[in-house]
Amino acid sequence: MPDLNRRRFLSLAGTAVAGAANALAATKERAVPAVQPNLLVILVDDLGYGDLACYGAPDLKTPHLDRLAADGIKFTNAYANCPVCSPTRAALLTGRYQELVGVPGVIRTHLGNSWGHLTPDAVLLPSVLKKAGYASAIVGKWHLGLQSPNTPTERGFDFFHGFLGDMMDDYYSHRRHGINYMMRNTTSIDPKGHATDLFSQWAADWLTQQKAGSPFFLYLPYNAPHGPIQPPKEWLERVQAREPQLKPKRAKIVALIEHMDHGIGQVLAALEDAGHADNTLVVFVSDNGGDLPAGAFNGPVRSGKGTMYEGGLRVPMIARWPGHIAKGTATGRIALTMDIFATCCEAAGAKVGHEIDGVSFLRTLLGQKQPAPERDLFFGRREGGRFFNGGTIECVRRGDWKLLRSKPGGPLELYNLAADPLEKRDLAKDKPEKARELAQALNDQLARYARVPWKPPGKK
């Protein structure tokens, strides 16, 4: 990234953080109203921490998500539970560390290269919300099971219109390994069009069917901007005309992101037109950091998707709730994907009657004082292939200290993110006591995970 763009990104991010305290301090504490809010959670796939204009990207335009941030609150320290797809989705929908619900890695078509199986006892968000009177739908990418009993409508959703699999080999044919994973509830479908356009339209259609006064939860997980980087032709041509200096790879992912932003704009417009916008809490987040080989931009932070460094874990997150979240605010509060579960339940007045690991950040959204919880944060990933060979990489964060293992069986690395946010100086040898302290916490957590099976019953 050119130095000028890096400085611009840091300046924009710094301004947001610096302004957050004043903006939030000026917001009076608000009580959650008696009327339950509708919930719209938009999850995008492989969007880099720096790949929105409102997060400092110098070469793309995302007016709809920029507007969402201007109308609400932007997180500068939001983290994905995992640097790859399935585990983060499991964490979001269960409020638990993904390893504790059987999804330490990516669920795929072929069992020999699939690293998770959602446990039967995992309680998903729509099931909890249903007890509080919510209708629920998922439109888009599921990626938590390809067959019964782990399909969306068997795991708590009232309605499903989307894609069961991990990725599409083509955004227009929607196949994976030649298999059609597009479904409407339990029926296979074969629609025409770019997947982003389809998901946006289907989400808009569902929203317009919801009646005022009947609370709903819509989970909208896009495939974009995950590879293949396949924007519609006209969107790519538009970017190339506007940004002729971009290399072809970067121009393609910029176009795919801008096309996705346009689709999200259609969904938000449908929410407005149906009269739901004023009583809907919208949360937008990415499932992990951007994929650098695909041309993603993660700002100044180190590395990208698939790694335990900041570029793999730190993600953009935005929330809007008119009349409750102050406009144009920002927060440096650390939040994980699994915290969205707890936040949605608290906002909805839905009681959680089982153990979760996530912590609600609702008071932060409402501009109220909310001390950071005293908790260690854990991240992990299991994978196959020659590099992983079925092993794991993992990380623990305690305050500003971060201990990680970047390759299975490899040495532990120690960083202080306050002093070294770009993770340039490994302090494991300089601070052996701190490294041992965090290693013990990590080992204890890994022991918890080891008790939970992550393969289908009867499979070895």
Burial of 59 (0-12, 13-18, 19+ CB in 10 A): middle
**Dist. CA 209–CA 221, nearest whole Å:** 19
* Structure letter (DSSP) for residue 404: E
The question of whether 344 is a catalytic residue gets the answer no
- For the chain, counts of helices (H) and of strands (E): 12, 17
* Structure letter (DSSP) for residue 71: T
Phi/psi for 397 (5° steps) reads -125, 130
Structure tokens at 253: 């992912």
Contacts of residues 371-376 at CB distance under 8 Å and 24 or more positions apart, as own/partner, are 372/333, 372/334, 376/441, 376/445
Contact 337, 87 (CB under 8 A): no
Active-site residue (options: 54, 64, 82, 85): 85
Q: Which amino acid is at 68?
A: L
DSSP track, 292-361: GGGT---TTSS--TTSSSHHHHEEEEEEE-TTTSPTTEEE---EETTHHHHHHHHHHT----S-------
* Structure letter (DSSP) for residue 105: B
Active-site residue (options: 64, 143, 226, 259): 143
Q: Which amino acid is at 408?
A: P
- With H, G, I as helix, E, B as strand and everything else as coil, classify residue 197: helix
Strands (E), 46-158: 73-79, 135-141
Contact 305, 291 (CB under 8 A): yes
Strands (E), 374-441: 377-382, 392-398, 401-405, 412-416
Residues across the chain = 460
Strands (E), 171-268: 175-176, 179-180, 182-184, 187-188, 216-221
Give Cα separations from 328 to 54, 72, 78, 314 (angstroms).
11, 6, 17, 21
Q: Residues near 209 by Cβ (< 8 Å), separated by ≥ 6?
A: none
Residues known to be catalytic:
85, 143
